[in-house]
Amino acid sequence: MGALCDRFGRRIEYLRISVTDRCNLRCIYCLPACGIKWLPREEILRFEEIREIVRVGIALGLTHVRLTGGEPLIREGLAELVQMLAAIPHLEDLSLSTNGVLLSRDARTLARAGLRRVNISLDTLKAERFHAITRFGAVSDVQAGIEAALEVGLDPVKLNVVVMRGINDDELVELGRLTIDRPLHVRFIELMPIGDFFSRERLVPSEEILACLGALGELWPSSGPGGCGPARTFALDKAQGTIGIIGAVTQAFCAQCNRLRLTATGQLRPCLDDTAAVDLKPALRPAIDPGRLAELVQQAVEAKPEQHSMAQRDAGTPRFCMAGVGG
């Protein structure tokens, strides 16, 4: 195995893979109410192609893989892909990001296939508010998914909360309290200027989030659970879980960025905040060419920018939606 480094000396170890652009929710900060035009199925990467990308990436130095969407659990046969990836030597971590609606159905199968841990979106605990934010679904389904993840031993179970002023910022303490009695790790994420929902008025800075959570008691810096994400992690005395703050806008973590993002159609993006990408399909179709694939992955790494521009924007950019790049 090698070491995959960009022009700024950052070691690239983490690949997020969108397995589908489709989703069973329409979260207000991710998709328009009318949805988007889904990609033709023939354009979506096949499982064998994803496996080869991961195999080549690991040979170059990648160690962590996360499956995302859209909503990955609506991709038929996802457990088969998990099993294929889990069997690749030297893959240190295989995780999943999901909205949790279907997780109670699939958690046991995924765990048996080799999935190690899961991140679940949970922006509110209130049923009516959940429906207003997601436009579909029920928070009870997500709560059932969380219970299933804990029951089958996926560890750690992280809950992702996108904080939005005037929408769910009055629930931060209640959500943070979930970490006390159960091994749940709640991550509070700043609203990012991607898509057309963002505004400065809706952005709650990470320091404000942290100050609000102080109502729970003294928060101690913590090493946190497994993973290689960007959260600053804290814990309450005797709490089973942890609290994380991800200040993607006001406290950008670009200097420590260790990731690439693969879209469902094979576009390898060096940065979440940029539509620039390297197309891997020429090395996958009509036949897989591992040498060419390695060259294209290296090309994407070399194209990583030093810094994103989220902090400079006062409004969201409708260039692309979060669902299209897997968050």
Per-residue pLDDT of the chain (327 residues; tens, 9 = 90+): 668 999 999 999 999 999 999 999 999 999 887 777 888 999 999 999 999 999 999 999 999 999 999 999 999 999 999 999 999 999 999 999 999 999 999 999 999 999 999 999 999 999 999 999 999 889 999 999 999 999 999 999 999 999 999 999 999 999 999 999 999 999 999 998 887 888 989 999 999 999 999 999 999 999 888 777 789 999 999 999 999 999 988 887 888 899 999 999 999 999 988 788 999 999 999 999 999 999 999 999 999 998 776 655 555 555 455 555 665
Q: What is the pLDDT of residue 98?
A: 98
Separation in Å, CA 13 to CA 2, 3, 109:
10, 8, 27
C-beta of residue 261 within 8 angstroms of C-beta of residue 269: yes
Residues contacting residue 35 through CB under 8 Å, at least 6 positions apart: 26
Predicted local confidence at residue 319, as pLDDT: 47
CATH code for the domain of 31: 3.20.20.70
Task: Domain count for the chain, please give it.
Answer: 1
Contact 145, 100 (CB under 8 A): yes
242 within domain boundaries: yes
Tell me, yes or no, whether 4 lies in a domain. no
Q: For position 311, what pLDDT does the model report?
A: 55
Determine, yes or no, domain membership for 2.
no
Give residue 251's domain range.
14-324
User: Does any domain span residue 275?
Assistant: yes
pLDDT of residue 314: 59
Strand (E) or helix (H) holding 178? helix 178-181
Contact status, residue 261 vs residue 62, Cβ threshold 8 Å: no
